[in-house]
Amino acid sequence: MNDIIKAMIKAASHALQHAYAPYSKFAVGSSLQSEDGSIFTGVNVENGSYGLTVCAETSAICQMIAAGQRKIKNMVILAKNNKLCPPCGACRQRIYEFCEPETRVYLCDQQTVLKALTVNELLPLAFSLNPPDRKKL
């Protein structure tokens, strides 16, 4: 595990403490490294109207977009219970939207990587209206 991934696990673990999960009690933290090396974090934010819940991965992606970045280089996802926490289908599609084929997604506990996947392993046969020229995004 390289120093960048260690820093991303630490950032996601720190963010995890701010997750808002009063209904499921399933707190999730995420961090991503953008193309320029910046690290953005996100947490899940639940809502009494469950459909309005925001996932940690989506939260981190929104932070990246708000900062003017458009490409995910690496992503870390972890849960407070320290078990493997793969992203939901909607988040897999969102991750795909902002990545390159070599983008890596690391499913972690709060200290180490449990599983590492490429985005194509995470979401084989991803939906796309027209396969975008990823270099133009």
Q: Is 116 exposed, middle or buried (0-12, 13-18, 19+ CB in 10 A)?
A: middle
Residues 6 or more apart whose CB falls under 8 angstroms from that of 25 comprise none
The answer to whether 44 is annotated as binding is yes
The answer to whether 88 is annotated as binding is yes
The answer to whether 42 is annotated as binding is no
- Catalytic (active site) residue 97: no
Expressed in angstroms, the distance from the first to the final Cα of the chain is 29
Q: Kindly state the DSSP code that residue 20 receives in the 8-state scheme.
A: B
The answer to whether 47 is annotated as binding is yes
The answer to whether 38 is annotated as binding is no
Q: Catalytic: which of 57, 97, 102, 121? A: 57
**CA 13 vs CA 41, 52, 96, 105, 132: distances in Å:** 9, 24, 23, 16, 33
The answer to whether 48 is annotated as binding is yes
Helix H segments across 2-88? 3-16, 56-66
The answer to whether 85 is annotated as binding is no
The answer to whether 62 is annotated as binding is no
- Residue numbers annotated as active site: 57
Which residues contribute to the annotated binding site for Zn(2+)? Answer: 55, 88, 91
Which residues contribute to the annotated binding site? Answer: 44-50, 55, 88, 91
Which residues contribute to the annotated binding site for substrate? Answer: 44-50
